[in-house]
Each structure stands twice: as structure tokens, then as C-alpha cells.
Amino acid sequence: MQSSLLSVTQNDQRLNYRRRQAVNQVMLGLCGVAALIAILPLAWILLYVVQRGYGSLNLDFFTQLPTPVGVAGGGVFNAIVGSAMVVGLACLMAIPVSLIAAFYVYERPNTLLGTLIRFSTDVLSGVPSIIMGIFAYTVIVLTQGHFSALSGGFALAIIMTPIALRTTEEMLKLVPKTLREGSLALGAADWRTLLQVMLPAAISGVITGIMLGVARVAGEAAPMLFTAFGNPFFSAALDQPIATLPHQVYVYAISPYKDWQDKAWATALVLIALVLSLEVVARGVTSWQQRKLRGR
Amino acid sequence: MSVITAIKLKKRTSRWSELVRRLEHGDVIFRLLTLAAGMLVILAAIGIGFELWQNSARPRAEFGFDFLVGTNWDPVIEDFGALPFLYGTLQTSLFSLLIAVPIGLGIAIFLTELAPDWLLQPVGFVVELLAAVPSVIFGLWGLFVFVPVVVKPFAQFLNGTLGWLPIFEGPVFGPSRLAATLILSIMVLPTLVAISRDVFLAIPPSQREGALGLGATRWEMITQNLIPYGLSGILGAVILALGRAMGETIAVTMVIGNNLDLSASLLHPGYTMASLIANEFTEATTDMYREALILIGFVLFGLTLLVNIIARLLVWRVARRIPTESRA
Amino acid sequence: MTQNQIKVPEAPSIGAMLKTSIVGLQANNDQVNSFKVQVKNLNFYYGSFRALADISLGFPENQITAIIGPSGCGKSTLIRTLNRMSDLVPRARVEGQVLLDNENINTSDVDVVNIRRRVGMVFQRPNPFPKSIYDNVTYGPRLLGVRNKKVLDEIVEKSLRGAALWDEVKDKLHESGLALSGGQQQRLCIARMVAVEPEVVLMDEPCSALDPVATIKIEDLMRTLRNNYTIVIVTHNMQQAARVSDYTAMMMMRPDRAGEMIEFNQTRTIFTNPHDKCTEDYVTGRFG
């Protein structure tokens, strides 16, 4: 054997060795602890919301209007309808645009315009939701002169678009190329191929993308503050202020009254159940869809 | 008539018929439609900046760049400065990263390098669910549970042991920048984990084998090979998380205490740009007041835009680099 | 852990023959002073699938031993048990003994990190770290605690010379290792490994991603390295095994797709006068 350059005494090496092994053990252990830390707040939040909110839940809570401070009972019927309306409006605006734009990005990913659309999508997904609220405010509320369900829907639509666009594009990319080529080779027009072959193949993925988008925007309170604005009464009009669930949670939570704070927990329970079940279903469908497409 | 003109003529007619055929098949219309939708997306991105700029003309004319360094925010005399909010936003978001980055990287490492297969899905799922919890629910939980149970005792402990440091100066409040920082660090975890996990997964296994084959411990492999290899991607994740933290509104508004304060202490209540807008926008009765808030929004937009562009470029760079290297 | 629990009925002739061939080697061949590495009754399982069945053989010190056999017969799996890289395979289980200097390294209490330093490995595709050439070579020594710049410089020169790469890169030590050609990258990986002064060198098809010229260089290098190291090379290239190795182990896949050792002998014997019909068919190209 040649002379060793690796120096140092046997003892030094053994010490160095032990230190390295110890560092390894400790740090890897800490990584495991980090994973536990991720689980802790989620579990805590879920358990607490259920525990605090469950008591106030009853049929009335889903069918009645909010009561003033000190008056027992009442519900968040208006906020449920309001959330449905605002989110529905957002879907009406965001889904067609993001689907069709996703086709463009899918077909021409490397053109200047394709890159620009992708880049804009990334920019939009990074803009704070409160800024979307201001945007909707200046574009709709200022021009109309009053808060409205429409402006709330508009703000949420812009938040939703990048999510739906991105997932749709990803799902289209997962569809085997042969499927598309097969259709084109039969002489089908591009748009027929996309709509009648590609979209059906990717549809469950696209739907989950939309569901994820809905889950995300249904929980948004910040942009509602000065667009939908909130409304203690029932309204289903597009051009009137309207209550939404997340905004209602906020209003109840920061009020100084104990009974409203209790209602905040109950409303939060309704909201989180809605959002998380959308999320769970969407994630489940996504992984199923990906398995199906990749397995082919 | 020469042969050449005949061919040209034929070409022209065939191009024309091609166009007609395409029109008939609807491809042209469809293409225009997709183009229009794409343009709408671009327009929205540009439109946001434009609208915020347009609608904040008054304070820009009045204060100019002094707006950024002004320390006063007094709607009554219409004297507006953004510094306390800029400060609050930067302090809370940066400190939240200080906490979240090691934890987030730890989780990503756990998921990609350590966890047995059966744990991957559940832990990944929990992280995704954490991302789905609405901000207002974080705020509610923060306000009534997290702040009194965790933050306040923790703040008292910090003040008691490290109170001589300016950032842990008393008096101790419950709702504070510390509360916002801690809540934010939980809220940005999913972003950090998701992206850095993808970065780690994209590193070729041969790098791991090379390091371990030379007698590196797993931890040495992680710190000396994987993290340097994916550094720009991880940085991208960190910066993207920074953007999230800076723009987070409702949860922060509910726990930060909403107080103009320029002291160094994390334990004092503070204000962020986003929480200021959330709190005061509907109360803004004069044009000047409202436009000052929109200008704050513009500053926030600019900051998050900058941060996002940097982050995307970093993440894109990694995505582009990986295929070229595996060719080697 | 040390004894295989599942006994699968097997052809007695092969096991017996294997034993005789090893025993015969030890008895007859005075070139073999000792086995640096020895494998005894090794079984390898991926989940419930048995990938290696009752492998037993020894790798003579300071000699080059080639492992040959058709693809999928477990050559790479076997070589990876020799430095416990097999630990990285999810759901894998190794039963039996792997002796390094007569010490079993296939136990749970053995120090894997130290084993991997003593038993270096070169992989199928060159995998230099995206660091400078200098940092690639000093990676291992630094882990071992060498900080002295002068010593590191010395190690770099010695290792690169040892890998026959010094003259080509001495002027660009601080350029990225990825900027080198494939063959140079592979030699850099060898230098990187030589720097931690291993005792055994495992090579898992080290030339499969290289062109013929680069392959010749690596083969020349192996002959030099042989003076200082015990070398085990997995190759699917019969000519390569014949060219570089002193001993050859022939593996085959059984009908149940588990790999088994068919024949182990001096390379000369394997290629000119194999005892086993399968080996003969394989080395003469009639099979696989």
C-alpha cells in the first residue's frame, strides 16, 4: 500500500468519525421532527374548529339569517348563498378564459406569446389576494359607484384563473401525444381534436384543477372586504353588497361580543369543511387521473 | 405563359383554398379565440399594475418618493408615509422565513430522502391540506388559540431571557409582530415544502450514490451535494415563500395588533401593508386617503412582483439545467 | 440475518462444483494469497422476489475479478452488496455473509459509512459532482477531516495522477468537473475515489457509457490500479473481461429469475476451458 496522505492519528480519525455519525443522526432526527411540526398546526386547527364550532351548528344555522348581537339563534344562510354566488360568478368568468388560454399555451408553449401568457399566469398567482381586491374595486366598484357581488366575483376570478390554467395545461400535457396525432391524422380540425379528443381525455384533471381553484377562492376573505363588502341581510342581486362565508368569519371573529365569536367558530367549521372536502376530492381525483394516464 | 408563373398562380390559389378550408373547419376562429383568452390573461397581469398606478396619482404627486420613507400615517391631516408598514411587512416576512425555511427544508428532506414509501403520501397530503386552510381560519385560530396559548408565553420567555436584545424588548403584548411572524411561518410552509421537494426529486440518484459511495453520511450528502445542486431552486422556493408572506393579509391583520410602531422589537404590535389596506380601505372617505391606500397597494404589488420574478427565474433555471446535466 | 432461512431446492451439481472450484483455487493456485472480500451464502430479496440465490465466492487481493453474465442475472445487485450500497434499494433484504478482511460487513451494527470509504465504487455513468475538479477530488478527504490546504493539494495531484488524468487537467483544476469529456469524467470519479484511499474498488460497468478510446484508457488505468487495490468489475462485455481481469465469475439467471453463481475461475480458464456448459455457451457468444 502507498503511504497515506489522509494524515492524522487513528484516534483523531475515530473521533472525527463519531462526530460525523452523531451529527448525521441528530440532523436526520430533526428532519423527522420537522415533518411532525407540519402535522401539528393542521391537527390543532382542525380539532379546535370542530370542537368550538360543532356546538353551534344546527339546521337553523344553515337556513336562518344572522341575528344582531345578543339575540340567540340565527344562521349564515345569506353568507352561504353569497359565497355560492360570488364563487359561481368567479367560475363563470375564470373557467372559459383559463381553459381556452390553456389550449393556447399547450399548443404553442415556446412562442413569445405562449411564454408571455405563462409568465403572466405566474405573476398573477403571486399577486396577493388583497391586491386583486383593490383591482376589482378600481375596475368595478369605482365605476359603478357601489359595492357588489359582481366585483367580488371578478376579484375571485382573477385569483382562480392562474390555478385553473396551470392545472389544465398540465393535464393536457399528460394526455398521450398519440391520441392527438391519431385524431389529426383522421383529418379532424385542430379545435375538434382539442375539444372532442383531448379535453375528454383530460377532463377529470381539468375538473380537479377547477375544484382546487374553487377551494382556494372560496376561503378568500381579504378581497371581499371592499368588493362584496358583506351584508347582514339576504341578497341575491349581482349589483348589491353580499355576505360571504370567509368574510362573515372575519366580521364575527374581530367583534368584541362573545356570542358573535362563537358564531365565528361555527361559520369557520362550515367553511373549512367545504374547502377541505373540495380539496380532498380534488387531490384524490388528481392522483387517480395521473395514475391512469401515466399507466397507459 | 412561363412555367414559373403557372406554378406561382397555382401556389396562390392553393394558399387561398387552404385559408378557406381552415376557415370552414373553424380552426382560424378557434385559434383567434385561444389567442384572445391568452391576451386576457396578459392584460389582467398588466391591468393590475396599471390600475393601481392610475388610481394613486394624488399621493404620488403630493409626496413623491418621500411616501416610502414617511413615518407618519394621519388621515385627519392627510399626511401619509409608508415606512411603518413597509417595515412591518419586511420584518414579519423575513423573520417568518428564518423559522420556516429550516423546517420546510427539513420536511422536504424527510419526504424525499428519509421517509419510507408508506409515509410519503400522508405527510405530503397533510402539507397540501395545510395550504388549503383559508387564511381567515388561521387568523381565527391565531387570535383565540395560538396567540394566548403559544405566542404570549413564548414572548414572555424571550423577553425574560433575551430581553436585552432590541428585537425582544418589552413590554410584552399578545397580538404582535411575533404572532404574525409565527403564523406566517406556518402558512408559508406548504409553498416551501412543495417546491423544494420537487427540486430534491429532480436531482439525479447518481449524485446521491456518488456521495454515499465515497463514504459520506446521509447528512453530508444532503448538505454538501443535494443542497448545493438544487440551490437555485431552493432559493426560488424561499423567495416565492417570501412573496406569499409579504402579501398575506387576513391572518396577519387579526394577530399583529395593528399599531404604528417602528421599534425593533418583535414583541410589539405592528402593522403590515396588507393589514393596513384590509383595516382602513372601507373607512377611507376622502380621495386622498383612499389613493394613499392604493399607493400602499402598488408598493406591495411591486415588491411581490419583483420577488416573484426573481423566484420564477431561479426555479426555471433549475428546470432547464437538469436535463443538460443528465446528458453528461 | 447471517443465515439464509429460505432453502430453495437447487441443482446440487452447481453448488458442489462451485465449492470445488473455489477450494481448488485455494489449493492449487499459489497466486491467490488470500481473499480480500468473500461472499458466503448470499441471498438478496426485493420484497418477496429473490434476486440472488446462495452466492458464494471470494475476490483475491490485488487482483481484478470480473463478474460476467447475461443482463438481469444480478451482477450489479451482487457488487452493490459489497459496499452496502444495496441499503439504498427500498424493500431490499440481504441475507448471508459478506466478509471484508474476514469481518462480516452485512450486519446491522457495522459502520456503513466506513465500509463505503474502504470499498470505493465507480458507477455505470460518470457522476462527477457539479463542483470544480479540485473540489470533486477533495470531497472525500475533507469529509475525513483533512483541512490543510497543502495536504489537499498533494492529495489532488496524487489522486489525479493515479487516475491518469493529471496531465489533462492540471491547468484547469478549478473548472467544473462537468466540463470534462465522458471518459475524463469517469477518470475524475476514479480519482475522487482513490483520494479516500480505499482498499477495494468496485466498478459497475464503468465503460458502458464511454467510447472505445476512453474505454481503453480506463482499462489501462485498471491494470495500474491493480497493484494497490483489489478490483471487482461488473461488465457485460466479454472482451473486456478477457482483456483486463485475472479472475472471472460467471453468473446466470435461474428459471425463477434469481441470479446464481455458475463458475468462478482464472479468466484464462473461463475463456479457454470452462467447466460449465452454460459458461462455454455464453463466452463463445452462443447465448445471452
Its ipTM equals 0.91
Asked whether the predicted pLDDT for residue A210 surpasses 60, the reply is yes
Other Cβ atoms closer than 10 A to B325: 13
Chains touching chain B through at least 3 C-beta pairs below 8 angstroms are A, C
**Taking all residues of chain B, what is their mean pLDDT, rounded to a whole number?**
88
Task: Using a CB–CB cutoff of 8 Å, tell me whether C146 touches chain A.
Answer: yes
- Residues B145 and B221 grouped into a single domain: yes
B260 min Cα distance to partner chain A (Å): 19
Asked whether the predicted pLDDT for residue B98 surpasses 50, the reply is yes
The residues, any chain, with a CB within 8 Å of residue C207's CB and separated by 6 or more, are C186, C214, C215, C218, C219, C235, C237, C240
Other Cβ atoms closer than 10 A to B324: 9
Question: C140 to chain B: nearest residue by CA?
Answer: B214
Distance (Å, whole) CA A181 – CA A138: 46
What is chain C's pLDDT, residue by residue, as a tens digit (288 residues)?
344 444 433 433 444 444 444 544 443 444 445 789 999 999 999 888 999 999 999 999 999 999 998 888 889 999 999 999 988 888 889 999 999 998 999 998 888 888 998 999 999 999 999 999 999 999 999 988 888 899 999 999 999 998 989 999 999 999 999 999 999 999 999 999 999 989 999 999 999 888 999 999 999 999 989 988 999 999 988 889 999 999 999 999 888 888 999 899 999 999 888 888 888 888 887 664
Distance (Å, whole) CA B269 – CA C2: 64
Q: What percent of chain A has pLDDT over 90?
A: 50
- Comparing CB atoms, the residue among B204, B215, B229 nearest residue C117 is B215
- Residues B137 and B261 grouped into a single domain: yes
C104: helix, strand or coil: strand
Q: Is the Cβ pair A5, C151 closer than 8 Å? A: yes
Scored b (16 or more CB within 10 A) or e, A176-210 reads eeebbeebeeeebbbbbbbeebbbebbebbbbbbb
List C-alpha distances in Å: C33 to A174, C36, C119: 59, 9, 19
Cβ burial of B160 (10 Å; 0-12, 13-18, 19+) is: exposed
- Residues B24 and B147 grouped into a single domain: no
The whole domain housing B13 covers 3-54
Q: Is the Cβ pair C196, A13 closer than 8 Å? A: no
- Of the residues C116, C185, C205, the best mutation for testing chain B's interface (the one with the most B CB atoms within 10 Å of its CB) is C116
The residues, any chain, with a CB within 8 Å of residue B42's CB and separated by 6 or more, are A116, A117, A120
- Comparing CB atoms, the residue among A23, A191, A215 nearest residue B132 is A215
- Comparing CB atoms, the residue among C145, C155, C197 nearest residue A16 is C145
| pLDDT one-digit tens code per residue, B299-320 | 999 999 999 988 888 877 766 5
- Which one has a higher pLDDT value, C22 or B251? B251
Q: Is the Cβ pair C158, A21 closer than 8 Å? A: no
Asked whether the predicted pLDDT for residue A64 surpasses 50, the reply is yes
Asked whether the predicted pLDDT for residue A169 surpasses 60, the reply is yes
Task: Using a CB–CB cutoff of 8 Å, tell me whether B215 touches chain C.
Answer: yes
In what helix (H) or strand (E) does residue B189 lie, and over which residues does it extend? Answer: helix B189-202
Residue C187 has what pLDDT? 93
Contact C285, C238 (CB under 8 A): yes
Chain A residues with beta carbon closer than 8 angstroms to that of B47:
135, 139
Task: Using a CB–CB cutoff of 8 Å, tell me whether C284 touches chain A.
Answer: no
- Residues B27 and B149 grouped into a single domain: no
Question: C229 to chain A: nearest residue by CA?
Answer: A1
- Which residues of C lie closer than 8 Å to B, measured between beta carbons? 83, 85, 88, 90-91, 113-114, 116-118, 120-121, 123, 125-131, 139-140, 143-144, 178, 182, 185, 189, 192-193, 196
Q: Grid coordinates standing for B158?
A: 424571550
Scored b (16 or more CB within 10 A) or e, C25-44 reads beeeeeebeebbbbbbebbb
Asked whether the predicted pLDDT for residue A206 surpasses 60, the reply is yes
Distance (Å, whole) CA C216 – CA C221: 8
Task: Using a CB–CB cutoff of 8 Å, tell me whether B302 touches chain C.
Answer: no
Chain C residues with beta carbon closer than 8 angstroms to that of B215:
113-114, 116-118, 140, 143-144, 196
Distance (Å, whole) CA B302 – CA A200: 40
- Residues B107 and B30 grouped into a single domain: no
Task: Using a CB–CB cutoff of 8 Å, tell me whether B328 touches chain C.
Answer: yes
Backbone angles phi, psi at C20, to 5 degrees: -65, -40
Q: What is the DSSP string of A246-291?
A: HHHHHHHHTSS-HHHHHHHHHHHHHHHHHHHHHHHHHHHHHHHHHH
Residue C44 DSSP symbol: E
**Phi-psi category of A229—alpha, beta or left, where left has phi over 0 and alpha has psi -120 to 50?**
left
Chains touching chain C through at least 3 C-beta pairs below 8 angstroms are A, B
User: What is the amino acid identity at position A293?
Assistant: L
Q: Looking only at Cα atoms, what is the longest distance across chain C? A: 60
B165: helix, strand or coil: coil
- Comparing CB atoms, the residue among B209, B220, B229 nearest residue C85 is B209
- Residues B161 and B266 grouped into a single domain: yes
- Of the residues B123, B136, B198, the best mutation for testing chain A's interface (the one with the most A CB atoms within 10 Å of its CB) is B136
The residues, any chain, with a CB within 8 Å of residue C8's CB and separated by 6 or more, are C50, C53, C256, C258
Asked whether the predicted pLDDT for residue B144 surpasses 80, the reply is yes
Chain A residues with beta carbon closer than 8 angstroms to that of C197:
2, 4-6
Residue B13 has what pLDDT? 59
Closest to B42 measured CA to CA, from A121, C234, A261, C63: A121
Residue A252 has what pLDDT? 93
Contact C229, C66 (CB under 8 A): no
Task: Using a CB–CB cutoff of 8 Å, tell me whether C90 touches chain A.
Answer: no
Residue B16 lies in a domain: yes
Residue B181 lies in a domain: yes
Q: Rounding to the nearest 10 degrees, give the CA dihedral for residues C55, C56, C57, C58.
A: 120
Q: What is the DSSP string of C132-192?
A: BHHHHHHHHHHHTT---HHHHHHHHHHHHHHTT-HHHHTT-TTSBGGGS-HHHHHHHHHHH
Residue ranges and CATH numbers for the domains of chain A are 78-295 (1.10.3720.10)
User: What is the amino acid identity at position B306?
Assistant: L
Q: Is the Cβ pair A7, C148 closer than 8 Å? A: yes
Other Cβ atoms closer than 10 A to B17: 10
Q: Is the Cβ pair A250, B281 closer than 8 Å? A: no
Place of cell 446466470: C252
Q: Is the Cβ pair A17, C154 closer than 8 Å? A: no
**Phi-psi category of A241—alpha, beta or left, where left has phi over 0 and alpha has psi -120 to 50?**
beta
Cβ burial of A113 (10 Å; 0-12, 13-18, 19+) is: middle
Question: A4 to chain C: nearest residue by CA?
Answer: C197
Chain C residues with beta carbon closer than 8 angstroms to that of B116:
90
| pLDDT one-digit tens code per residue, A17-46 | 888 999 999 999 999 999 888 889 999 999
- Within chain B, strands assigned E span 73-74, 79-80
Q: In whole angstroms, what separates CA C75 from the centre of its chain?
A: 9
Chain B residues with beta carbon closer than 8 angstroms to that of A40:
none
- Residues B174 and B130 grouped into a single domain: yes
Q: Which long-range contacts (CB under 8 A, 24 or more apart) does A251-256 make?
A: A253/B136, A253/B139, A253/B140, A253/B143, A253/B144, A253/B254, A254/B143, A254/B254, A255/A69
Task: Using a CB–CB cutoff of 8 Å, tell me whether C148 touches chain A.
Answer: yes
Task: Using a CB–CB cutoff of 8 Å, tell me whether A12 touches chain C.
Answer: yes
Q: What percent of chain B has pLDDT over 70?
A: 89
Q: pLDDT band at residue A196, thresholds of 50, 70 and 90?
A: confident
| pLDDT one-digit tens code per residue, A70-92 | 888 888 999 999 999 999 999 99
- Residues B28 and B113 grouped into a single domain: no
Chains touching chain A through at least 3 C-beta pairs below 8 angstroms are B, C
- Residues B141 and B170 grouped into a single domain: yes
Chain C residues with beta carbon closer than 8 angstroms to that of A8:
145-146
| pLDDT one-digit tens code per residue, A221-280 | 999 999 998 988 888 889 999 999 999 999 999 999 988 999 999 999 999 999 999 988
Contact B275, B258 (CB under 8 A): yes
Chain A residues with beta carbon closer than 8 angstroms to that of C141:
5-6
Task: Using a CB–CB cutoff of 8 Å, tell me whether C62 touches chain A.
Answer: no
Asked whether the predicted pLDDT for residue A4 surpasses 90, the reply is no
Q: Count structural domains, chain B.
A: 2
Q: Is the Cβ pair B26, A265 closer than 8 Å? A: no
Distance (Å, whole) CA B156 – CA B152: 6
Please identify, among B54, B79, B96, the residue that sits at the C-terminal boundary of a domain. Answer: B54
Distance (Å, whole) CA C260 – CA C249: 10
Task: Using a CB–CB cutoff of 8 Å, tell me whether A113 touches chain B.
Answer: yes
- Residues B267 and B201 grouped into a single domain: yes
Residue B142, domain CATH: 1.10.3720.10
Distance (Å, whole) CA B90 – CA B84: 10
Residue C6 DSSP symbol: P
Task: Using a CB–CB cutoff of 8 Å, tell me whether B204 touches chain A.
Answer: no
Task: Using a CB–CB cutoff of 8 Å, tell me whether B206 touches chain C.
Answer: yes
Residue ranges and CATH numbers for the domains of chain C are 12-125+203-283 (3.40.50.300)
- Residues B15 and B70 grouped into a single domain: no
Could you say which residues from 21 to 60 on chain A have a Cβ atom under 8 Å away from some Cβ of chain C? 21
- Of the residues C89, C129, C137, the best mutation for testing chain B's interface (the one with the most B CB atoms within 10 Å of its CB) is C129
Task: Using a CB–CB cutoff of 8 Å, tell me whether A280 touches chain B.
Answer: yes
| pLDDT one-digit tens code per residue, B165-191 | 988 988 888 899 999 999 999 999 999
CB pairs under 8 A between A and B: 264
Chain A residues with beta carbon closer than 8 angstroms to that of C196:
6
- Residues B12 and B80 grouped into a single domain: no
In what helix (H) or strand (E) does residue C203 lie, and over which residues does it extend? Answer: strand C200-204
Residue B60 lies in a domain: no
Question: B116 to chain C: nearest residue by CA?
Answer: C90
Question: B218 to chain C: nearest residue by CA?
Answer: C113
**Rg for chain A (alpha carbons), in Å?**
26
